[in-house]
Structure formats: C-alpha cells, structure tokens
C-alpha cells in the first residue's frame, strides 16, 4: 500500500506514520468501496456509510450512464479495468471521471504478470480459417495483446490459431478452449466440441488438459473447468474439476453442503479463492466462496438476483478487491462484502438506489 500524497510519504519517511502494510493482515472488511449507480459514481467509506458522489452525470444528462463497464475487475495494483464502447480502459478510483484508454477490445482478462492485462480482438478472418478440414464453428480467429495499464503500446500481440478462444492467464500460460469437433443438432445446426488447452508463448496449443470441456475460471496455478464425456452424437457434463498446473493433475471440486457449482464464477487474482453459485437445480442457489488450497467452502447464503443455472457475472455485480469479495445485487440494491481470511460477511443495512442499474467496481 503506497502513501497517496507527498505529505503522507514524507511523514512516513520521518516515522510519523505507521505503514498500513506492516499492520494490515488482510482480515479487514472492505472500505472506500466504489459503485456506479446507473451513471452516478459513489463511494462508501464503509459498508453502511452515507454515499458520497465522486462521479456525476454529464451536464444536462441526469439519468444517462456514461460510466458503465463490461466485465469490470479490480487489479492488485488498484486500477479497475473494463470495456467501455469497444475499448478496454483503466480507471483510478481516486479519479473515476478519467479513464485511460488501453486498446480496442471485445474482451479482456488479467495477465499473470503483475499490472498487465490481455485484450482480445477479432480481426478479419484469415483465409486459412476457410480450410475444409476445420469444423464450421472453428472458422474464426482472435488476437490477444498484452498491455501495461498505463496506456502505452502493447508489449506483444499474438494471433491465435483458428477456433482457439483464450479464457484466462495462469502461471503456466494462457488457458483456452479449442474447437476440435462438432456435435450435430436437429436440423442443420451443430454444437462445438472444445478441448481445454494451454498455449505456449507464441499462442499455439502445446498441452491438452481436457479433451472435451469448458473453462469456468483460471488464475495462479488453478484452472476450474467442466469436463465432458462425448460420443458422436452428444456430450455429457461429468463434474467440475480443479486442475493444478504445479502438479499437472485434476482434483475434484471442493464439496459444499448446498451442492455442486452452478455456472461461471469469479476467481481472485492469486487463484486461491473462487466465488460461485452452488446448489444446481435449486431455484435460488447459494453463493459460496471456495478456498482451493484448503478445499473448504464458505456459504454466503442466497441472493434475490441469483438464479438457477446461470453465471454470477450475469446475475450479480461482483469483484475481488485483495482478500475481499464485493457484491452488489442489481435486483435489490443489497451491498455485501466478504473477507476470505476472517470469514466475516457484512451486509449493508439500507440498499443503494439501483433505479438506473448498478455495478460495484472495487475498493480503494
């Protein structure tokens, strides 16, 4: 944690202040939370604090949201990254009305290297993608580019093979889904069969970790996926597994009392904690935080906006901020924080105004 002002830095050097890093064990609840409430950005000094407006509607445009981000996530360095109007941007939570444009993007994910991200773009299809030997669903390709979050040009750009979709960066490289076959549907349609692969430094698949499956999340040395068993006619999901890139082995997903994982979850930057809906088949599944190292499950209860069989990003606005999971339920205005070290969960007593929608960005 760095002093935010020159005066604070000088005081710290003189021994007048105590470094927060020396005393903070990471077991503290989130403070200085920042949320975009449909075009008005607020800060909550504590979960139950009175909202402070730090980003206003444009002049004459009350109710117009110029701030909404697609897939907002907070980096360990503090910036919030997301996509706005087809461009990946970085936002300093101390100056939310400013945004640093990073690159055009249809998607993004954090890089394993600290303070870097990967952006995903879809250039015009290369003619090699029209080869007859490829499944029809594989005749597209993407590029990924690695960026610092300061707006400088990309560190490197990789054009991936046709039918390869990057999902996340891990200690062992980028994990991706590669279309290998098609399962015919009724009529003329088909469903792609994908292998889960790791890419080498040139962007080529070099290790297959599941012959058929889909990636739910990945970071650090953990990759969470649904593995499938396929025939010529269909693919049936087996179970969610956790692949450890250090041991190169699959292990069963940790057990939760409410049931197995349902849909896509959210992994923290270290790759240790994973937030997911659990209780497949329940109308209102529970939200749980999984410790992938200790194989434990902490049930946070149900949320009005969390529905059966759907992904957390499609239902709840959620981000990891260090050891805190921050949640905003867009259907109720409930704000909840959960600290993974203390296992303390705090719910705001009075919901925030979500008349125009809402997102939680992070905590500064």
Q: Output the pLDDT for position 196.
A: 96
pLDDT tens by residue, 215-247 = 999 999 999 999 877 666 666 666 789 999 999
Please give the average per-residue pLDDT across 174-189, as a whole number.
Answer: 79
Q: 115-130, pLDDT tens digit by residue?
A: 899 999 988 765 567 6
Min mean pLDDT across 4-8, 70-74, 285-289 is at 4-8
Instruction: Name the more confident of 183 and 27.
Output: 27
3-state secondary structure the chain: CCCCCHHHHHHHHCCCCCCHHHHCCCCCCCCCEEEECCCCEEEECCCCCCCEEEECCCCCCCCCCCCCCEEEEECCCCCEEEEECCEEEEECCCCCCCCEEEEECCEEEECCCCCEEEEEECCCCCHHHHCCCCCHHHCCCCEEEEEECCCCCCCEEEECCCCEEEEEEECCEEEEEEEEEEEECCCCCEEEEEEEEEECCCCCEEEEEECCEEEEEEECCEEEEEEEEECCCCEEEEEEEEEECCCCEEEECCCCCCCCEEEEEEECCCCCEEEEEECCCCCCCEEEEEECCCCEEEEEEECCCCCCCCCHHHHCEEEEECCEEEEECCCCCCEEEEECCCCCEEECCCCCCCCCCCEEEEEC
Name which residue leads in pLDDT, 201 or 181: 201
pLDDT of 188 above 80: no
pLDDT tens for 257-300 read 888 888 899 999 999 999 999 875 566 788 999 999 999 999 99
Comparison of pLDDT for 134 and 164, the residue scoring more: 164
pLDDT at 12: 36
| Arithmetic mean of pLDDT over the chain | 86
Residue 21 has pLDDT above 70, yes or no: no
List, for residues 311-335, the tens digit of each pLDDT value: 888 889 999 999 999 999 998 999 9
309 has pLDDT over 80: no
């Amino acid at each position: 944690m760095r002093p935010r002002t020159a005066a604070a830095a000088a005081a710290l050097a003189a021994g007048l202040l105590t470094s927060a890093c020396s005393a903070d064990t990471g077991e503290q609840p989130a403070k200085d939370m920042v949320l975009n409430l449909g075009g008005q950005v607020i800060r909550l000094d504590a979960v139950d604090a009175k909202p402070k407006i730090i980003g206003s509607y444009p002049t004459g445009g009350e109710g117009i949201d110029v701030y909404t981000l697609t897939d907002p996530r907070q980096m360990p360095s503090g910036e919030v990254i997301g996509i706005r109007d087809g461009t990946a941007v970085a936002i300093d939570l101390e100056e939310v009305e400013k945004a640093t444009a990073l690159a055009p993007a249809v998607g993004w994910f954090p890089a394993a290297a600290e303070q870097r991200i990967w952006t995903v773009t879809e250039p015009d299809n290369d003619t090699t993608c029209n080869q007859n030997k490829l499944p029809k669903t594989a005749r597209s390709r993407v590029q990924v580019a690695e960026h610092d979050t300061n707006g400088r040009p990309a560190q490197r750009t990789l054009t991936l093979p046709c039918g390869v979709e990057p999902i996340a960066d891990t200690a062992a490289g980028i994990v991706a889904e590669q279309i290998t076959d098609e399962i015919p549907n009724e009529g003329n349609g088909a469903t792609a069969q994908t292998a889960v692969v790791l890419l080498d430094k040139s962007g080529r698949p070099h290790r297959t970790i599941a012959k058929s499956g889909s990636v739910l999340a990945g970071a650090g040395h953990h990759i969470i996926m649904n593995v499938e068993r396929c025939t010529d006619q269909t693919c049936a999901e087996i179970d969610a597994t956790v692949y450890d890139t250090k041991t190169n082995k699959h292990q069963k997903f940790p057990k939760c009392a409410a049931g197995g994982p349902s849909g896509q979850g959210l992994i923290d930057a270290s790759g240790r904690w994973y937030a997911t809906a659990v209780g497949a088949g329940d109308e209102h599944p529970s939200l749980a935080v999984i410790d992938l190292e200790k194989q434990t499950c902490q049930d946070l209860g149900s949320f009005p906006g969390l529905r059966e069989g759907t992904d957390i990003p499609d239902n709840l606005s959620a981000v990891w901020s260090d050891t805190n999971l921050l949640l905003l339920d867009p259907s109720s205005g409930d704000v909840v924080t959960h600290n993974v070290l203390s296992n303390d969960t705090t719910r705001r007593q009075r919901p925030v105004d979500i008349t125009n929608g809402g997102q939680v960005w992070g905590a500064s």
